[in-house]
Amino acid sequence: MNTFAMKNRSFSRRRGLTLLDMIISIPLVGIALVAALNTVGASKASQFKVDNMRQGHLLAQDLMSEILQQDYTDGDMAQATRKTLMSMGSVTYPLGPDNVPGRNEVATGNRSLFNDVDDYDGWVASPPQAKDGTTYTSMTGWSRSVSVVFVNANDLSTAITVDNGNKRITVTVAYNNIPAAKIVAIKTIGLPLLEACCFDGGFCENLRAEACATQGGTSQGTDTYCANTTCPTGPTVLYVVADTANLTAQELARQTLMASWGFGIQLIRASASQSNYAKALIGVDVAYISVEVAAIDLGTKLTNATVGVVNANVPLISSLGFASGSTFYVNLSAVNVVDNTHFITSTFATGTLTLSTSTQWFSEVVSGIAGGAQVLATIDSGKDSLFVIESGDLLVGGTPAAGRRVQLPWGDVSFDFNALSADGQTLMKRAIEWAAQKPAICGDGNCDTGEDTCTCPADCGAQAAFEQPGVNCNDGLDNDCNGSTDCADPNCSTDAACLICGNGLCELGEDCTTCVTDCLSKSNGPKSGRYCCGNGIAESAEGDGSICDGNY
């Protein structure tokens, strides 16, 4: 036992480390371990930085992409105007979200109402949030800020104070106030967008909105192209209905019929405000009031409209100034045309005209018709039923009509529109077409249909001194007002459009080159045309040879 114990003790002594070993090894190992652990720590820290950087760039990219999708500006200034001002270097406006009546973009406290690039100027959010204000989760400590400035295209580093079409956007992302990422990008006024632009007759052209207006067309709005737009071939009608969102079957039938005529149709609710009517009337040619409209809803909103008004609503006769007396309805199917000299009735003979396929309630004015009214058809033994008032002629009360007016012979709510006969439809179509035309009033500043430089130089410009070949000999106008138009005017005899090759006459302007049939080897007419000068043949009568192949 003793021996074993001694052996054991000896073994234990041999097995352990000496103090010296420990003293040397512990610092060495410690140093090595610290260095090794530092390496691990450094790698961890580096990884953290990489993660932060990546996170930061993703956040910056997210916001920058959102900003670049916005428009350059709010669009509250016409692009043409803006460009003109830009060219003068004088467009200035505060950057940042708008907060003006009708456009408070900061109302929500988030970016949901931001709609142009500079709305983002000064935007700061911590933690970051989506456009609708939803806060990103697990983003504590992160913040995003945006700065937007005007810059010149040739110096993107220097901010300027005027807008010349370029904005520099800088998105900065920070983590615990230490910048983690920064992205810079440029947004410019960009390419102008084209819109379908409709012209009279249904012609369509893709144009910028301002170019469309300049050329007298009607822009069809953003995201429209001629390929997906059918331009009206007839007038544009402001169709007044009871409820634009819920047309009655009768209103719908009327709309369908007008559309089939190629009329452009713009609906408006009868109860719309006067200012909305004013805006709507700008782009239309004529207003049509359906019988479904409650008189109290429309009131006098169209009484002074400068466009034509076609009324099929008898309760509105008084407020529109058509008549002040009583009105009645009579159950029948035909009216009596008493005046077919007017455009509306000119396709019909005077006398009975059947307007409906079954008896319907037609309207008549018993008394108090406007002084300027021209009655075209009557019912019930001479009571006025269909009548018109020319622009400028007197309405009830002696006020001149601001535009053309038509009172249709139907106007009771029980009138079945589907019962309208073909002649009835024609009457309605022509009534709208007539009311849509601007009357030719010389001196009103418009060169209207029927006016020209001869009949109304005040509106159409001074007449030309004479018809001029190559200038106005093919425009269908008697420019010098001498009673001869284009080729009929002797002044146009040399115009290319007036030279008739093949009529056997070597006319002024024709020669053996341009019209060999009429001019070759002719002995009369102008010298240049008598023989073919330049054909290489010395023809006998070409003269002395100083100019031509032969002599003349």
57 or 438, CB closer to other proteins? 57
152 or 248, CB closer to other proteins? 152
**Chain positions contacting other proteins, by CB under 8 A:** 10, 14-15, 17, 21, 25, 28-29, 32-33, 35-44, 46-47, 49-50, 53-54, 57, 61, 64, 68, 83, 86-87, 153-154, 156-157, 164-166, 168, 170, 181-194, 205-208, 211, 215
Q: How far is the CB of 34 from other proteins (least distance, A)?
A: 10
154 or 546, CB closer to other proteins? 154
10 or 354, CB closer to other proteins? 10
SS3 211: helix
Residue among 253, 237, 280, 269 at smallest CA distance from 432:
237
Extended beta strands in 153-216, E state = 155-160, 166-175, 178-188, 195-198, 204-207
Q: How far is the CB of 186 from other proteins (least distance, A)?
A: 4
Cα separation, 149 vs 166, whole angstroms: 9
Q: How far is the CB of 255 from other proteins (least distance, A)?
A: 31
Reduced 3-state DSSP string for 95-154: CCCCEECCEECCCCCCCCCCCEHHHHCCCEECCCECCCCCECCCCCCEEEEEEEEEEECC
Classify 97 in phi/psi space as left (phi over 0), alpha (psi -120 to 50) or beta: beta
29 or 294, CB closer to other proteins? 29
Q: How far is the CB of 16 from other proteins (least distance, A)?
A: 9
Please report where in the chains the tokens 């940042």 appear, as a residue: 96
Q: Taking the CA of residue 422 as centre, how many other CA atoms within 13 Å lie in the half-sphere pointing to its CB?
A: 2
26 or 278, CB closer to other proteins? 26
208 or 269, CB closer to other proteins? 208
Cα separation, 540 vs 483, whole angstroms: 43
215 or 300, CB closer to other proteins? 215
* Residues in contact with 445: Cβ distance below 8 Å, sequence separation at least 6, in sequence order: 459
Q: How far is the CB of 154 from other proteins (least distance, A)?
A: 7
Extended beta strands in 430-523, E state = none
Q: How far is the CB of 189 from other proteins (least distance, A)?
A: 5
Helices assigned H by DSSP within 265-410: 274-282, 295-298
Query: How many CB atoms within 10 Å of residue 359?
Result: 12
Q: How far is the CB of 103 from other proteins (least distance, A)?
A: 25
Q: How far is the CB of 62 from other proteins (least distance, A)?
A: 11
Q: How far is the CB of 406 from other proteins (least distance, A)?
A: 35
Cα separation, 161 vs 165, whole angstroms: 12
Phi, psi of 78 (to 5 degrees): -55, 140
59 or 389, CB closer to other proteins? 59
